[in-house]
Amino acid sequence: MTTAWDFSATALDGTDRQLADYRGQVALVVNTASQCGFTPQYGPLQDLYDTYAPRGFVVLGFPCDQFGHQEPGTEAEIADFCESSFGVQFPMFAKVEVNGANAHPLYSWLKQEKKGILGGAIKWNFTKFLVDQQGNVVKRYGSTTKPQDIASDIETLLDSSN
C-alpha cells in the first residue's frame, strides 16, 4: 500500500528529500504561493509548526504557480520571502504542479486518496492534506480553512500515538 512516505521531493535548496524522513510524524501538506489572498496563512501554519513540532508534527510546504501565476519567484526568492515575511522554519520544497499531466507524484496520490469539491483536482493555493504518522491521508481541507481550525485534528492524531 502506498503512503506519503513513499515519495520524494526537491527541497527549496535543491537537495532531494525522502518524505520517509517524516515517518512517525503527523504532517500537513500544503500547496503554497507568495502572491495569493491566502498567503497570510503562512503565519498560522508556522504557529502550528512551532506549537506541535515538539510532539511530532511537521508542515510540508509545496509552492505552486498553477493558480493565477501567484508564485512567480525562483526557489531562492520563495525561501527569502517565506523567511523574511513570515519567519517560516518548516520544510519548504521546490515549486511543483498539483494538477494536470505534470502534477508531482505526491499530489497525484494525495488527490486520489482524498477528493475535494472538484473531485480529484485542487481548486486553489493553500489546499491542505493532513497525513498521519503512518503516511495515510486522514483529511483534506480547502484554501479557506484556516490553519488554526485544523489544530484539534492535529492534536487528535498526536494523542493517538501515545
**What pLDDT, on a 0 to 100 scale, did the predictor assign at position 46?**
97
Q: How many domains does the chain have?
A: 1
- 105 found inside a domain: yes
pLDDT at res. 160: 86
The count of residues in the chain is 162
Q: Which of 29, 30, 33, 36 is catalytic?
A: 36
22 is a domain residue:
no
pLDDT score recorded for residue 162 = 56
64 is catalytic: no
Residue 73 covered by a domain: yes
Domain limits for position 131? 4-13+27-160
Note the pTM of the prediction, 2 decimals.
0.94
Q: What is the pLDDT of residue 116?
A: 63
Report whether pLDDT(17) > 70.
yes
CB atoms within 10 A of CB 158: 17
Whether the predicted pLDDT of 54 surpasses 90: yes
19 inside domain: no
CATH code of the domain covering residue 133: 3.40.30.10
* Residues 6 or more apart whose Cβ sits within 8 Å of residue 81: 34, 73
Is position 21 within any domain?
Answer: no
Average pLDDT over residues 23-52: 94
pLDDT at 21 over 90: yes
Residue 11 corresponds to which cell in the numbers above? 527541497
pLDDT tens for 141-157 read 999 999 999 999 999 99
Whether 18 maps to a domain, the answer reads no
In a domain, 67, yes or no: yes
Grid cell for residue 12: 527549496
